[in-house]
Structure 1
Amino acid sequence: MNRSWQVGTGLVLTALAGFVDALGFVRLGGLYTSFMSGNTTQLSVFLGHADFAHVVLPAILIGGFLGGAILGSGLSILIPSPWATPAVLGYEALLILAALGVGLAIPELGIAAFFMAVAMGSQNAVLAQVKGFRAGTTFVTGALFSLGQKVAQALTRTGPPFGWVGDGAVWAALLVGAFGGAVAYARLELYALFIPAAVSGLLALVAAIFALRHRTMMPEPPAT
Structure 2
Amino acid sequence: MPQTRPSLRALQLGLSGLAGLLDATGFLIANGYFVSFMSGNTTQLGVNALDGIGSVLLPAGLIACFLGGVSAGAAIGWTSRVWPRTLLLATSLALISAAAVAYALGSTLGFLIPAGFAMGVVNNVFLRDDSSAAGVTYMTGALVRIGQNFAARWMKRDDRIKPGYGPLWLCLLGGAVLGTWLHTFDGAIGPAVAVGANALLLVLAWRTEKGQAHPA
What TM-score comes out, normalization by structure 1 length?
0.86
d(CA) in 2 for partners of 1:113, 1:121 = 12
Where does 1:1-224 land on structure 2 (aligned, <5 Å)?
Answer: 3-47=5-49, 49-81=50-82, 83-107=83-107, 109-128=108-127, 137-160=136-159, 163=161, 165-217=163-215
Distance 1:122 1:111, change over 3 A: same
Does the Cα contact within 8 Å between 2:99 and 2:115 map onto a contact in 1?
yes
Q: Cα deviation per residue 1:150-171 (whole Å; 9 max; x = unaligned)?
A: 111011101259x464111111
Query: 1:54 Cα shift?
Result: 1.8
Give structure 1 stretches of 5+ with no counterpart. Answer: 219-224
Distance 1:84 1:130, change over 3 A: closer
Q: Cα deviation per residue 1:30-49 (whole Å; 9 max; x = unaligned)?
A: 111100011011111111x2
Q: Percent identity?
A: 31
d(CA) in 2 for partners of 1:170, 1:151 = 16
d(CA) in 1 for partners of 2:11, 2:203 = 12
What one-letter code is carried by the residue in structure 1 that aligns with 2:55?
A: H
**What SS does structure 2 have at the residue aligned with 1:217?**
coil
Query: 1:22 Cα shift?
Result: 0.5
Does the Cα contact within 8 Å between 2:22 and 2:190 map onto a contact in 1?
no
d(CA) in 1 for partners of 2:19, 2:39 = 14
Query: 1:194 Cα shift?
Result: 1.4
Query: 1:129 Cα shift?
Result: 8.6
Give structure 2 stretches of 5+ with no counterpart. Answer: none
Distance 1:134 1:64, change over 3 A: closer
After superposing on structure 2, the runs of 4+ consecutive aligned residues of structure 1 that deviate more than 4 Å are: 133-136
Over the residues paired in the alignment, what is the CA RMSD in angstroms?
2.4
What one-letter code is carried by the residue in structure 2 that aligns with 1:126?
A: V
Match of 1:222 in 2: none
> Which stretch has the larger CA shift, 1-10 or 190-199?
1-10
Query: 1:205 Cα shift?
Result: 1.6
Q: Which has the larger radius of gyration?
A: 1
What one-letter code is carried by the residue in structure 2 that aligns with 1:117?
A: G
Does the Cα contact within 8 Å between 1:24 and 1:113 map onto a contact in 2?
yes
Q: Cα deviation per residue 1:108-130 (whole Å; 9 max; x = unaligned)?
A: x2232011100111110012497
Does the Cα contact within 8 Å between 2:20 and 2:172 map onto a contact in 1?
yes
Query: 1:206 Cα shift?
Result: 2.3
Q: Cα deviation per residue 1:52-92 (whole Å; 9 max; x = unaligned)?
A: 222111111001000000111111111114x0001101111
